[in-house]
Amino acid sequence: SQQGEEDPQALSIQEGENATMNCSYKTSINNLQWYRQNSGRGLVHLILIRSNEREKHSGRLRVTLDTSKKSSSLLITASRAADTASYFCATERQGKSTFGDGTTLTVKP
Amino acid sequence: NAGVTQTPKFQVLKTGQSMTLQCAQDMNHEYMSWYRQDPGMGLRLIHYSVGAGITDQGEVPNGYNVSRSTTEDFPLRLLSAAPSQTSVYFCASSYLPPGQGRGQPQHFGDGTRLSIL
């Protein structure tokens, strides 16, 4: 069964707006990672947050983790057309990664 | 630095045929894994390896075999292809297994798009 579930499934915004995606999971984890997938390509790592961390920043990306609610969010600020892609969270425990079904983000110029 | 290389990029098979999907990495990573991605879904783990000579099953291993004779290579074999195995297959690698140490990203290949008729 899938450990991580993203919400929403699809998101369409205008360039310059912020995009927020959420990930929920069911069991305890060691780490949570966010990946991006452009159409027809493999996944590219964006950011890692460890279970003892609450917030991480990387450029225009902000990730939060709430282990009590078993949830994480990815915020992309000042979005660009080039941010159009699918975004996946991956929870890590016991030597395995489990991916959610992803959020498809469309940024309109 | 090539990273993770998957071949072929596309393949069409008939039901019952067998084939091997190749995966090679040049980063000296110990951990390698195979995933399949079906339309509109995330990745599901097929098999993984924590080092040469060591493999284990993931979430959806049936119909697939793997071996790890070297650190660099991790081929995935379809024994007798079925239409349900039509999917995009991704190979990934990382220095340590997910969740171990302080955590590190998995590096992905660009995938093999497999259609089984």
Per-residue confidence (pLDDT) for residue B1, from 0 to 100: 62
Token pair listed for A77: 């600020």
Angle at A45 between CA B6 and CA B90, to 5 degrees: 25
Per-residue confidence (pLDDT) for residue A95, from 0 to 100: 84
Chain A nearest-CA residue for B97: A95
Per-residue confidence (pLDDT) for residue A1, from 0 to 100: 44
pLDDT tens column, A80-95: 999 999 999 999 988 8
Determine contact: A44 vs chain B, CB below 8 A: yes
pLDDT at A46 exceeding the cut of 50: yes
Question: Counting every residue, how long is chain A?
Answer: 109
pLDDT at B101 exceeding the cut of 90: no
Task: Say if the Cβ atoms of A96 and B98 lie within 8 Å.
Answer: yes
Closest-CA distance of chain A to residue B14, Å: 23
Q: Report, as an integer, the average pLDDT of B6-28.
A: 97
Residue of B50, B99, B108 lying closest to A43 (CB–CB): B108
Q: What is the CA radius of gyration of chain B?
A: 14
Task: Say if the Cβ atoms of B45 and A96 lie within 8 Å.
Answer: yes
For the purposes of burial, counting CB atoms within 10 Å of the CB of A5, is it exposed (0-12), middle (13-18) or buried (19 or more)?
middle
Q: Give residue A3's pLDDT band: very low, low, confident or very high (50, 70, 90).
A: low
Residue B104, strand partner residues: none
pLDDT tens column, A4-39: 688 899 999 999 999 999 999 999 999 999 999 999
Mutate to test the interface with A, among B6, B10, B37, B48 (most CBs of A within 10 A): B37
Task: Say if the Cβ atoms of B98 and A92 lie within 8 Å.
Answer: yes
pLDDT at A2 exceeding the cut of 70: no
pLDDT tens column, B18-77: 999 999 999 999 999 999 999 888 899 999 999 999 999 999 999 999 999 999 999 999
Determine contact: A75 vs chain B, CB below 8 A: no
